[in-house]
Structure 1
Amino acid sequence: MNDLLIQPFQLAWATGALSHGPLIRKTTLLGDLSAIFTDGDATQLFPDRPAYAVDMFDTPGGEGELYVGVTHLYPGKVGDEYFMTRGHFHQRREQGEVYFGLQGEGLLLMQNQQGQAWTEPVFAGSVHIIPGYTAHRLINTGSQTLSALAVWPSTAGHDYTSLPHGFALRVIEKAGKVRIMAVKHG
Structure 2
Amino acid sequence: MNADIIMPPQVAWATGLLTHGPVIAKTTRMSDLRGVFADTAAWQCHDPQQVIYTVEMLDTPTPEGALFVGVTRLRAGTSGGEFYLTRGHFHQRREQGEVYFGLSGNGLLLLQNEQGETRLEAVFAGSVHIIPGETAHRLINTGDVTLCALAVWPTVAGHDYAALAGGFAVRVFASENGYEVCHA
Q: Which of the five TM-score ranges fits, normalised by the shorter chain?
A: over 0.9
Please name the residue that 2:63 is paired with.
62
Q: Deviations over 1:91-132 (max 9, x none)?
A: 000000000000000000000111100100000000000000
Please name the residue that 1:74 is paired with.
75
**% identical aligned pairs:** 60
Structure 1 runs of 4+ aligned residues shifted over 6 Å read none
Q: What amino acid is aligned across from residue 87 of structure 1 in structure 2?
A: G
- Give the Cα–Cα distance (whole angstroms) in 2 for the partners of residues 40 and 4 of structure 1: 56
Q: What amino acid is aligned across from residue 25 of structure 1 in structure 2?
A: A
Please name the residue that 2:27 is paired with.
27
| Aligned-pair CA distance for 1:15 | 1.1
Q: What amino acid is aligned across from residue 132 of structure 1 in structure 2?
A: G
Q: Deviations over 1:42-63 (max 9, x none)?
A: 2232110000000111111120
Question: Compared with structure 1, are the counterparts of its residues 104 and 2 closer, same or farther at alpha carbon in structure 2 (3 Å cutoff)?
Answer: farther
- Give the Cα–Cα distance (whole angstroms) in 1 for the partners of residues 30 and 166 of structure 2: 19
Q: Deviations over 1:59-95 (max 9, x none)?
A: 1112000000000000010011000000000000000
TM-score, normalised relative to structure 1 = 0.95
Pairwise CA RMSD: 1.2
- Give the Cα–Cα distance (whole angstroms) in 2 for the partners of residues 135 and 110 of structure 1: 6
Please name the residue that 1:179 is paired with.
180
Please name the residue that 2:154 is paired with.
153
Q: Deviations over 1:132-177 (max 9, x none)?
A: 0000000000000000000000000000010232111110012353
**How many residue pairs end up in the alignment?**
183
Please name the residue that 2:115 is paired with.
114
Please name the residue that 1:13 is paired with.
13
- Give the Cα–Cα distance (whole angstroms) in 2 for the partners of residues 2 and 8 of structure 1: 18
- Give the Cα–Cα distance (whole angstroms) in 2 for the partners of residues 43 and 34 of structure 1: 8
Please name the residue that 1:83 is paired with.
84
Gaps of 5+ in 2: none
